[in-house]
Amino acid sequence: MQVSKQSRQFARQLFRLSLADGQISAERVNSVLIYLNQHPPRQPLAILKHYHRLVATQLAKNHASVEHAGPIADSILQTIERALTQKYQRPVTATAQPNPDLIAGLRITVGDDVYESSIPSHLAALASSV
């Protein structure tokens, strides 16, 4: 579906209204949704999809997905949260996700950035150097 320029601009405005101190606020998102329900705009589905994409992107920036294989201590997650918060200058929360394919090591995904130190990545680097 072709999203018009006005619809995209409107979705962006709604997204900016959903931020509080640079962070997505659940209350504000709820308010935006109520408003859209009460005052449905033109191309509501397209606007909602665009708004959803913007919100998800923003949430991903503040969320670090820590894929791991084997046991991981909470201290490691806290260390990662501190390091990423300092790096990105915004609060970042880390959540652990088991991934046996990593064999050992970590893969951290923050938005579009991926940090990996795992056995498969080291072996792949070794193979490419050969």
Partner 1 sequence: MLSYLLFLATAEEGKKASAVTKLLSDFGIDLPLLLAQILCFSIVAILLWRFAFKPVLSTMEDRQRQIESGLRYAEETKALLAQAQQESAAIIKQAQLEGARFVEETRKTAKEFLDQQQKDATVRANELIAKALQAIELEHGKMLDQARLEVARLVVLTTQHVLAKELSDAERARYNEAATREITVI
Give the C-alpha separation, 98 to 106, whole Å.
10
Cβ proximity to partner 1: between 4 and 117 the closer is 117
Contact between 112 and partner 1 by CB under 8 A: the answer reads: no
State the distance between the two ends of the chain, measured CA to CA, in whole angstroms: 47
List beta partners, residue 68: 98, 106
Contact between 100 and partner 1 by CB under 8 A: the answer reads: yes
Which of 59, 63, 105, 111 forms a contact with partner 1 (CB under 8 A)? 105
Piece of 1-9, 19-27, 49-57, 118-126 that binds partner 1 (CB under 8 A)? 118-126
Cβ proximity to partner 1: between 30 and 101 the closer is 101
How far does Cα 51 stand from its chain's mean position? 14
Minimum Å distance from CB 127 to partner 1?
Answer: 4
Give the C-alpha separation, 67 to 100, whole Å.
9
Cβ proximity to partner 1: between 25 and 85 the closer is 85
Give the C-alpha separation, 43 to 1, whole Å.
10
Which of 46, 55, 80, 92 forms a contact with partner 1 (CB under 8 A)? 80
Sign of the alpha-carbon dihedral angle for 75, 91, 30, 49? negative
Q: Which residues bind partner 1 (CB under 8 A)?
A: 68-73, 76, 79-80, 83, 100, 103-106, 108, 115-120, 123-124, 126-127, 130
